[in-house]
Structures are given as structure tokens and as C-alpha cells.
């Protein structure tokens, strides 16, 4: 029996605590330009409509805030997976398992893994990633060529040297791989990896780098909230709330 055509799933790890963000609770639930941060992230994928088989959010099993933060979620074609773990890699691995079991995703389907905390992604960037990867043997990720001079540091915070940046990229998300391949890679690499590409690289494969945008930064530190809010407001053409 031939396999059905591969579908595109989205998996959004949303189970972090945001310990570097300075926020009182998980940063993905902080208000940003009038709405919770993760609501902006979801909008990006909702804009892709029925090109996506499903959008799944991975939250911590004991998460009590999600229902209040995202009323109406999950809607049709959406899944709330209470499968988050202690690390991002665990949240993704456990989320993929739940996506297979609950949403019927198959090993040859594609998954776009995207940080909840990258709320400034744009649908055109997702299109570019899908276009570059859907016929690729491995898959790939959005990434940014280094815009600045790169320094190596000594242990006491002095410059040890200037590093060639021509072949260096900053990894972003989404990262797009076949679900079965990514499950195998994460099972083999465990918690040591900080992104999906690293796990795939551990299999000896070479994911494709697809140019992203500096605006697709991850809200990580306290000062990032104001920058992200300003971008969202500028895009919407409204005044700052
Ligand atoms: N155990 C974890 C850790 C992180 N994430 C998610 O992975 C994304 C990127 O991680 P990061 O920015 O490191 O988020 P946190 O782990 O929440 O932040 P910090 O490292 O500052 O604690 C975030 O959307 C976060 O919610 C997750 O689902 N499960
Ligand atoms: C996956 C990621 O966004 C790629 O840049 C990043 O590695 C996740 O953040 P963390 O600080 O490594 O958890």
C-alpha cells in the first residue's frame, strides 16, 4: 500500500519557565502589545490555513494558565499536548510522541518545530522554509548569517581572538524535519541538544540553512519584551498600548 502524501504539522514547545526573562511567570504568557506572547506566535501558523495538518502546543503537564491565556484553544486542527519536559529537547521529543499518538502524525510527515518565544516570525518566512525543505532529503531550519564581528573569549572575559564569521549562522526556528527521523535523532542524542538540527546533525546529516530574519529573535532577556512589542505595534500600524 503506498504511503499517503506527507503532511505538515507544527509543534510549538511552550513548556519553559523563562528563567532568564525576569518575568514573574513563564515568558510565553506575558502580555505583549495587548495579547499574550504565545497568541502572536500561534497567529503566524493559523495564517497558513489548511496547508497545515495540525498545530500543536506542548505545555507542561501541570500548566494551569493555558486555558485562561488562550481561551478557545485548541480549535479545529489544533492540539494541546500536556507533554512538556524538563528541557526543550524533552518537550519536543515527548510532544512528537503525543503528536503521533493523539493527532495521528506518521513518521514520513513533516514537522515544523517552532519556539513559542519567537513571536515575531512571519508567514512568508515559514513559506520560504517549506519551499526550501519539502523536496530536501534531510530538511532544514531558518537561520541568520552572523551580522557582527565574532570574538572568542578567555575564561576571565577578555578577547582570545577574532573568529571567522563567513561560515557561521545563528540557528532560529522553525526547524523542519520528517517526524520519524527527528524522533530517532532525539532519542539518540538525548538532552544534550538545544535544537532539532543538532540532533539531526548527530546522525551525520547536514540540514539546509534557510536565511531567516533578525526580527525572528527569541524573547529571552527582560529587554526583549519591549523590542518585540514595538515590532508588533509597528506591524499593526496602531499606537503603543
Ligand atoms: N523545558 C522546556 C524548556 C523550553 N521550552 C520552550 O522552548 C522554547 C525556547 O526555549 P528558551 O527560550 O530557552 O525558553 P525557556 O527555557 O523558557 O527560558 P530560559 O532558558 O531562560 O529558562 C520556549 O518557547 C520554551 O517555552 C519547552 O517547551 N520546554
Ligand atoms: C532552538 C533555538 O531557538 C535555536 O536558536 C534555541 O537553541 C533555544 O533556546 P535555548 O536557550 O538553547 O533553550
CA of 3 to the centre of ligand 1 (A): 35
* Atom in ligand 1 nearest the alpha carbon of residue 21: 21
Q: Which of 115, 140, 219 to mutate to test the pocket of ligand 2 (most atoms within 8 A of CB)?
A: 115
* Atom in ligand 2 nearest the alpha carbon of residue 20: 11
Tell me: the pLDDT tens digits for 10-36?
A: 999 999 999 999 999 999 999 999 999
Q: Cα separations (Å) of 216 from 122, 181, 184?
A: 8, 26, 28
Give which of 138, 144, 145, 139 is closest to 125, Cα–Cα: 144
Whether ligand 1 lies within 6 angstroms of the CB of 82 is answered as no
Closest-lying ligand to the alpha carbon of 144?
2
Per-residue pLDDT at 239: 58
Per-residue pLDDT at 2: 86
Q: Which residues of the chain are modeled with pLDDT < 70? A: 238-241
CA of 238 to the centre of ligand 1 (A): 30
CA of 117 to the centre of ligand 1 (A): 8
CA of 114 to the centre of ligand 1 (A): 11
* Atom in ligand 2 nearest the alpha carbon of residue 195: 1
Per-residue pLDDT at 1: 80
H helix count then E strand count, the chain? 7, 11
Tell me: the pLDDT tens digits for 171-205?
A: 999 999 999 999 999 999 998 899 999 999 999 99
CATH architecture of the region 8-236: Alpha-Beta Complex (3.90)
* Domain boundaries of the chain, sorted by first residue: 8-236
Range list of β-strands (E), the chain = 8-13, 31-32, 35-36, 54-58, 78-81, 110-113, 139-145, 150-153, 159-163, 169-178, 208-211
Whether ligand 1 lies within 6 angstroms of the CB of 118 is answered as no
Whether ligand 1 lies within 6 angstroms of the CB of 18 is answered as yes
Whether ligand 1 lies within 6 angstroms of the CB of 174 is answered as no
Per-residue pLDDT at 237: 84
Per-residue pLDDT at 241: 55
Whether ligand 1 lies within 6 angstroms of the CB of 162 is answered as no
Closest-lying ligand to the alpha carbon of 195?
2
Q: Which of 24, 62, 88 to mutate to test the pocket of ligand 1 (most atoms within 8 A of CB)?
A: 88
The ipTM value here is: 0.98
Amino acid at each position: 500500500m503506498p504511503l499517503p502524501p506527507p503532511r505538515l504539522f507544527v509543534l510549538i514547545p511552550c513548556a519553559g519557565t523563562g528563567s532568564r526573562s525576569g518575568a514573574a511567570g513563564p515568558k510565553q504568557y506575558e502580555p505583549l502589545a495587548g495579547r499574550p506572547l504565545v497568541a502572536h506566535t500561534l497567529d503566524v501558523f493559523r495564517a497558513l490555513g489548511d496547508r497545515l495538518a495540525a498545530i500543536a502546543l506542548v505545555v507542561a503537564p501541570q500548566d494551569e494558565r493555558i486555558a485562561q491565556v488562550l481561551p478557545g484553544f485548541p480549535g479545529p486542527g489544533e492540539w494541546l499536548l500536556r507533554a512538556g519536559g524538563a528541557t526543550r529537547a524533552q518537550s519536543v521529543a515527548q510532544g512528537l510522541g503525543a503528536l503521533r499518538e493523539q493527532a495521528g502524525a506518521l513518521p514520513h510527515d513533516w514537522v515544523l518545530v517552532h519556539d513559542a518565544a519567537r513571536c515575531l516570525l512571519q508567514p512568508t518566512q515559514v513559506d520560504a522554509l517549506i519551499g526550501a525543505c519539502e523536496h530536501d532529503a534531510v530538511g532544514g531550519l531558518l537561520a541568520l548569517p552572523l551580522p557582527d564581528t565574532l570574538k572568542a573569549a578567555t575564561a576571565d572575559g577578555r578577547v582570545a581572538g577574532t573568529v571567522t564569521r563567513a561560515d557561521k549562522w545563528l540557528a532560529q526556528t522553525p526547524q523542519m524535519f520528517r517526524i520519524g527521523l527527528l524522533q530517532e535523532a532525539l532519542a539518540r542524542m538525548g538532552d544534550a541538544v538545544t535544537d532539532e538540527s543538532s540532533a539531526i546533525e548527530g546522525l551525520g546529516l547536514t540540514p539546509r540553512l534557510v536565511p531567516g530574519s533578525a526580527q525572528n529573535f527569541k524573547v529571552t532577556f527582560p529587554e526583549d519584551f519591549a523590542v518585540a512589542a514595538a515590532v508588533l505595534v509597528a506591524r499593526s500600524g496602531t499606537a503603543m498600548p
